[in-house]
Chain A
Amino acid sequence: MTQFLEQIINGLVLGGIYALIAVGYTMVYGIIQLINFAHGEIFMFGAYFAFFCVTTLGLSFWLALPISMLLCALMGMLIDFIAYRPLRNAPRLSALITAIGMSLVLQNLARMIWTAKLRKFPVETRPSFLVANKIILPGGAQLSFLDLFIIVLAIGLMIGLNRLIYLTKIGKAMRACAQNKVAANLMGINTNHVIAVTFAIGSALGAVAGVMVGLREVVEPTMGYYKGVSAFAAAVLGGIGNVTGAMLGGVILGIAEVLGAGYISSEYRVAIAYIIMILVIIFRPSGLLGKSTATRA
C-alpha cells in the first residue's frame, strides 16, 4: 500500500510535467494545426535558462523560474516569427518539416553552448525549503515538498490556463482563431498576434516543466526530446487541440508509465504507456476528449 501510494505520487508528478508540456503542443495545434516539434526543445531551454540564472548569474531559484518563463515565452514567439509565420499559408507538411528542423537546430545549439554533460542544480542553489522537507503520509509513504510543489503548481497553472481560455478576451480570441482563422480575422481579430500569444503561453508553461525536471532530475540537451515525445503522446491521447484533453492525457500517461514500471515490467516502462495510447487511439481515433472543433483552443 505504501509502495502503491508512492508510485501514484511519482506518477502524478510525471503526469503534471507531461501535462504542462502537452498543453504547449495542443494549443499550437488547435490554432494553426501545426505539431510544433521544437516545443520539447523550448522545455529543455527552460531548464538551461534557470540553470544559467542560478549558477552563472547567482540569482535565487525563485527569481530564476519567472525569468526562465519569460525567456522561453520570447523564444517561442521568436520561433513562430522566424520559422512558422512565413509558412502560414504554405502546405502543412512544409511547416511540419520546418518544426522538425527547428527542433534539431535548437537541440544542437544547446549542445554547442552547454555541451552534452549532465548538469544538476548545485546543492546551494536548490530551494532548501523544497528539497529538504518531506511529509510522511499515513502508512509511511513519503511525499517530498518538491513533488508536492510540482503537483500543486501543475494543477494551479492548468486551472489558470483554463480560466484564461474561457474567461478572458484573449482566450476568446484564441478560441475564435481555433474555430476559423479567416472568420476571426474578418471580425477584427489580429490572428498573428493571437498566435504569438499562444506560443508565448505554451512556451512559458513548458519552461516551468523544464525547470521542475531540471531540479528533480537533471539538465541535459536531449531531455526535450525524451520528455517531449511522451508529452506529445499525451496530447494525442487526450485529443490533440483540446487543452483539457492534454491535461488529462498527461496525467494518464504519467501514471501509466510509473505503474507499468513499478508493477508490470520496468524493461517496458515507456512501451506500456504507448500501448495505452495506441489502444485509446484505436477505439477513439480523435483521442479521449477531441471530437468537435468547437472545443479547440
Chain B
Amino acid sequence: MKTRANFSTISLVALVVMSFTFMSCEQKVEGIKIAVAGPFTGNIAAFGEMIKRGAELRAKEINAAGGVNGKTLMLVFEDDAGKDKEASLVATRIATNRNILAVVGHFNSSCSLAGKPIYKRAGIVELSPGSTNVRVCEGSDWTFRNLYRDDFQGGFVAKYIKNVLTDIQKIAIFFDNDDYGRGLKDGFTNAAQKLGLDIVATEAYDRDNTDFKAQLTSIKAKNPDLVFISGLYSQAGLIASQAREVGITVQLFGADGVDSPGFLEIAGDAADGTYVSTPFVFELGGSEAQRVAKAFEAEYGVAPDTWAALTYDAVGMIVEAIEKGGENRKAIQKYLASMTTPEKGYEGITGLTYFDKNGDCIKPAYVKVVHDGKFVPAEKQMLDTEM
C-alpha cells in the first residue's frame, strides 16, 4: 500500500513536471502573433465569446487577403475570466512571450487597469475594446482604447434621460462595486445633478452575489421613476428580474455593460423596455458594418454584438500599425500614438478612432432598447460627442 502510494505520487509529480516542460517550449513561428485577452470563461463569458468571434473573423479575413506583410496573423487567446487577479497573471504571461507583438484587451476596466503597469514595463501595447473606466489609459503610453470613457457615457445617459425620457425626475442608481461600476456611477451622478435630476438612492452590489433583494427593497421605498444599473449583464439580468419580483415596475436603464445577448437570456421577460447606452449599434453602422454583420452571422449563426464589432476594429488597428509602423512592439506603440487627428485616425466599422494624448478616444454613444426580447436601436439617438 505504502509503495503504491509513493509510486502514484511520483508519477503525478513527473506528469506535472512534464506538462510544464511542454508548455514552456515556445515554438518558432513564421507569422505575426497578437494576443486577445478577455473573459472567455466565468460568469460574464458571453462578452468573451463575442470578443473571440470578432477577433477570429477579422483574422480570417486578413489571412484570406494575404496576411500581414505576407505572414499569417495568429491570435493567442488569453482568458482573464473578468477578474483583475487573473488579468495580472495573463498580462505577465503575454508580456514575457517575445513572439507576441501587441494585446487586444482587456475587456473589464479592472482587468485593463491590472494589466496596465505590466504591459508598460514590458513595453507592449494594450488596446482595449471594452474598458471605459476614466483611469484606464492614464499614466501609460502603452494603453489605448477604441471606445468612449465613462465620464462621457455617464453624462450621455443623464442627458438622454433629461432630453428624451422627459417624465423622469427621480432616479435610483444600483452599481457594481468595482472599477467600472463605481466610475460610471460617479460620471452619471455628476452629470445628472448638474442637469437637475434627483438621485434618490445610490445602492451598491457585490459581483459575486446573486441576491439583490435587500438593496432593491430599499430602492423601492424611495419610489424612483427610473433605476440606472451601472454594472454587467449577468447581474443586471438578475437585478431586472428580482426588481420585478419585489415590485419595482419603473423604467430600467443600463449602460454598455448590460449590452449583451446574455442580459436578455437571464432577465427573460423582465428585460423588456430596458434602455442601454452603447458604443456602437450595427443597425446604424455603414455598409461595411452591414457586410461584417452578414459575414459574422454566416460564420457563427448568431448576430454580432457591440463587443464583437469593437474587437474586429481593434485587431484591424493593430494590423494597420504593424503594416505601416513596423513588426515590433515599439513601432506599434509609436504608430498608434501618432494617430492624433481625424485625418490620421482609423476608419473602422464602429466609426473613426483617433487618440488624445492619454490614448483615449472620442466616439459617440448610442441607445438601444429591448423590444420583444431583442435589442433594437432606440427611436431617438443623440450622436454629438460634446461632453
> Is B298 interfacial (CB 8 A cutoff)?
no
Question: Counting CB contacts under 8 A, is B214 at the interface?
Answer: yes
Bound together, the chains give a CA A111 to CA B43 distance in angstroms of 10
Is B208 touching A116 in the complex (CB atoms < 8 A)? no
| List of A residues within 8 angstroms of B341 by Cβ | none
Evaluate contact between A220 and B210: CB separation under 8 angstroms.
Answer: yes
Q: A269 at interface (Cβ–Cβ under 8 A)?
A: yes
Q: Counting CB contacts under 8 A, is A103 at the interface?
A: no
Q: Mark A1-19, 1 if CB is under 8 A from B, else 0.
A: 0110011001100100000
B41 near A116: Cβ-Cβ < 8 Å: yes
A217 CA to B266 CA, complexed, in Å: 11
Chain A, residues 207-242, CB within 8 Å of chain B (1/0): the string is: 000000100111010110010000000000000000
Nearest CB of chain B from residue A259's CB, rounded to whole Å: 8
The 8 Å CB contact of A118, one of B217, B234, B247, B269, is B234
Which residues from chain B contact A265 at a C-beta distance below 8 Å? 204
The chain A residue sitting closest to B182, CB to CB, is A267
- A217-B210, A266-B215 are contacts. A118–B237 as well, Cβ < 8 Å? yes
Chain B residues within 8 Å of A10, by CB: 213-214, 217
CA distance A14 to B204 in the complex (A): 18
Q: What's the least CB distance linking A142 to chain B, in Å?
A: 6
Chain A interface residue number, banded: 20 to 34
B residues in contact with A111, CB < 8 Å: 41
**Contact A266-B205, Cβ < 8 Å, known A10-B217, A118-B238:** yes
Q: Which of B41, B210, B215, B266 contacts A261 (CB 8 A)?
A: B215
B43 and A117: CB pair below 8 A? Answer: yes
- CB distance B206 to A269 under 8 Å? yes
Bound together, the chains give a CA A261 to CA B266 distance in angstroms of 24
Which residues of chain A have C-beta atoms less than 8 A from B237's C-beta?
118
| B214-A261 in contact (CB<8A) | yes
Interface string of A264-284 (1 = CB under 8 A from B): 011101100000000000000
A2→B43 contact, CB < 8 A: no
Chain A residues, CB < 8 A from B220: 3, 6
Would you mind naming 13 contact pairs between A and B with Cβ atoms under 8 Å apart?
A3-B217, A7-B214, A115-B41, A117-B46, A118-B43, A118-B237, A226-B208, A261-B215, A262-B214, A263-B218, A266-B215, A266-B218, A269-B214
Q: Which residues on B are within 8 Å of A, measured CB to CB?
A: 41-43, 45-46, 177, 203-206, 208-211, 213-215, 217-218, 220-221, 234, 237-238, 241-242, 245-247, 266, 268-269
Known: A10-B214, A258-B214. A220 touches B221 (CB 8 A): no
CB-CB under 8 A for A2 and B215, given A118-B237, A142-B247, A220-B43 = no
Q: From B222, which residue of chain A is reached at the shortest CB distance?
A: A3
A257 CB within 8 Å of chain B: yes
A120 at the interface (CB under 8 A from B): yes
Whether the Cβ atoms of A218 and B266 lie closer than 8 Å is: yes
A residues within 8 A CB of B177? Answer: 267
A226 touches B209 (CB 8 A): yes
Which residue on chain A has the smallest CB distance to residue B215?
A: A266
Judge whether A144 is part of the interface by a CB distance below 8 angstroms.
Answer: yes
Which residues of B have CB within 8 Å of A262?
214-215, 217-218
Please give me the residue from chain B that is nearest to A220 by CB atom: B43
State in angstroms the CA–CA spacing of A257 and B209 once bound together. Answer: 12
Give chain A nearest CB distance to B294 CB in angstroms.
Answer: 27
Known: A220-B43, A258-B214. A120 touches B266 (CB 8 A): yes
Known: A261-B215, A270-B206. Contact between A115 and B45, CB under 8 A? yes
Do A3 and B221 contact each other (CB < 8 Å), given the known contacts A116-B42, A116-B45, A218-B266? yes
Q: Residue A186 at the B interface, CB < 8 A?
A: no
Residues of A within 8 A of B42 (CB): 116
Closest chain A CB from B243 CB (angstroms): 13
Least distance between A114 CB and chain B CB atoms (Å)? 12
**Which residues of the partner chain B approach A270 to less than 8 Å between Cβ atoms?**
206, 209
- Asked if A82 is at the interface of the complex by the 8 Å CB criterion, the answer is no
A50→B234 CA distance, assembly (Å): 21
Contacts of B241 in A (CB 8 A): 120
Q: How far is the CB of B210 from chain A (nearest CB, A)?
A: 4
Q: State in angstroms the CA–CA spacing of A213 and B237 once bound together.
A: 16
- In the bound complex, residues from chain A placing their C-beta under 8 Å from that of B266 are 118, 120, 218
Q: Chain B residues near A2 (CB, 8 Å)?
A: 221
Contacts of A263 in B (CB 8 A): 218
Known A10-B217, A118-B234: A267·B268 in contact at CB below 8 Å: no
**Does A123 count as interface, using CB distance less than 8 angstroms?**
yes
Give the residue of A11, A14, A117 whose beta carbon is less than 8 angstroms from that of B45. Answer: A117
Q: Complex formed: what's the CA distance from A116 to B206 in Å?
A: 17
B213 contacts across to A, CB distance below 8 A:
10, 258
